[in-house]
Amino acid sequence: MNWIKKNLPGILVCLAIATPAWLLGKALPVIGGAVFAILFGMFITLFWEEEKKGAASGIKWTSKYILQTAVVLLGFGMDLQVVVKTGRQSLPIIICTISTSLLLAWLLHKSLNIPGKISTLIGVGSSICGGSAIAATAPVIDADDDEVAQAISVIFFFNVLAAILFPIFGKLLGFDQTSGTSFGIFAGTAINDTSSVTAAAATWDSMFHLGSQTLDKAVTVKLTRTLAIIPITLALGYFTAKKEQRGNSFSLKRAFPAFILYFVLASLITTFALANGVNANVFLPLKELSKFMIIMAMAAIGLNSNIVKLVKSGAKPLLLGASCWAGITAVSLLLQRLMGLW
């Protein structure tokens, strides 16, 4: 009862912000509900700082535990059989683009003195799957709400650019216009967020009357990329725990966070169920709930973020995001050319 009294006000505030943000995200998928939720939260907290104290505990709980639960539920969108099948063609590109982004993030973190956690979040978000990867990584490395908000903002900016520019870019580069395979792989490996991957691929299909060829390919490749959340977060958890250990205080639970292991379990359950004839639509409500819970957690993060601080420190993270985006795009194009995919 004490827990409810302490946390319910903050949870309800986050829910109230998340609902219109979710609806706006449906109407404008290129922007997405998570970005709307962060912006609403930031705006509200400018005028609600003093009164927010009674809701602070619930807001903090939402930003941590609702976020972790959302990541677990993401696993119900993972069919590992499809991932393995698609990976035979796209896996080399996926591995190289992820490695490029993480390496660039580390180099610029060192050379520009960008805070390590922001660098990690932007590097992981750029290379894997945008907001979902940031949501999974943030609790593992103990990133604070300002760092998460800043990383999400950077990723969003380049998502919108990619959705608008990549179809034009693909046409100029001479991608095959009779099949969606080459541009689908390009969009699936070089654009970080599912909403923008979908927007760019659907535009290509529309431009050249390809039905849903490009969209199907791009989304499947993107699904394969998403699986990289598992090894990346486990590795980050291990190194973070090792870095912070004192004497014999190394914690296996700290190194391998339980919610990531539950994510893996959810993926295995989905794969087993689909392999045994269960209709994929059964998992749609859980996938939708996961998306809503991420939006709700982003509302909490927005409420706990200092917009003035974000604006003042915005130039270097934007440069980092641009570098990761350019590096991923260049490597994806180079490898597709070498592999004869376009």
152: CB partners within 8 A, 6+ apart:
34, 35, 38, 125, 131, 134, 298, 301
pLDDT at res. 10: 92
Residue (of 156, 142, 88, 134) closest to 325 by Cα position: 156
What does 123-164 look like in DSSP terms, one character per residue?
Answer: HHHHHTTTHHHHHHHHHHHT--HHHHHHHHHHHHHHHHHHHH
157, 321 contact by CB (below 8 A):
yes
191, 166 contact by CB (below 8 A):
yes
pLDDT digits (tens, 9 = 90+) for 98-138: 999 999 999 999 998 888 999 999 999 998 877 778 888 98
Q: Which class for 300: exposed (0-12), middle (13-18), buried (19 or more C-beta within 10 A)?
A: buried
129, 222 contact by CB (below 8 A):
yes
Between residues 297 and 88, the one the model is more confident about = 297
Q: Which class for 60: exposed (0-12), middle (13-18), buried (19 or more C-beta within 10 A)?
A: middle
What count of Cα atoms within 13 Å lies in the side-chain half-sphere of residue 81? 9
Mean pLDDT of the chain: 84
Neighbours of 211 (CB within 10 A): 11
pLDDT digits (tens, 9 = 90+) for 259-278: 778 888 998 999 999 989 89
Residue (of 231, 230, 224) closest to 90 by Cα position: 224
Question: Tokens at residue 302, please?
Answer: 């927005």
pLDDT at res. 289: 92
Task: Please state, in angstroms and rounded to a whole number, the distance separating the CA atoms of residues 109 and 139.
Answer: 20
Q: Of 25-29, 172-176, 200-204, 324-328, which one has max mean pLDDT?
A: 324-328
Residue (of 166, 155, 160) closest to 126 by Cα position: 155
Binned at pLDDT 50, 70 and 90, residue 247 comes out as very low
Task: Please state, in angstroms and rounded to a whole number, the distance separating the CA atoms of residues 64 and 304.
Answer: 12
Q: For residue 334, is pLDDT > 90?
A: yes
What does 183-210 look like in DSSP terms, one character per residue?
Answer: HHHHHHHH--SHHHHHHHHHHHHHHHT-
Task: Please state, in angstroms and rounded to a whole number, the distance separating the CA atoms of residues 119 and 64.
Answer: 20
Binned at pLDDT 50, 70 and 90, residue 86 comes out as low
Largest CA distance in the chain: 63
pTM score over 0.95: no
Least confident of 183-192, 224-233, 285-294: 224-233
Binned at pLDDT 50, 70 and 90, residue 22 comes out as very high
Task: Please state, in angstroms and rounded to a whole number, the distance separating the CA atoms of residues 114 and 112.
Answer: 5
Between residues 160 and 189, the one the model is more confident about = 189
Determine the average pLDDT of the residues in 22-47: 85
Task: Please state, in angstroms and rounded to a whole number, the distance separating the CA atoms of residues 208 and 211.
Answer: 9
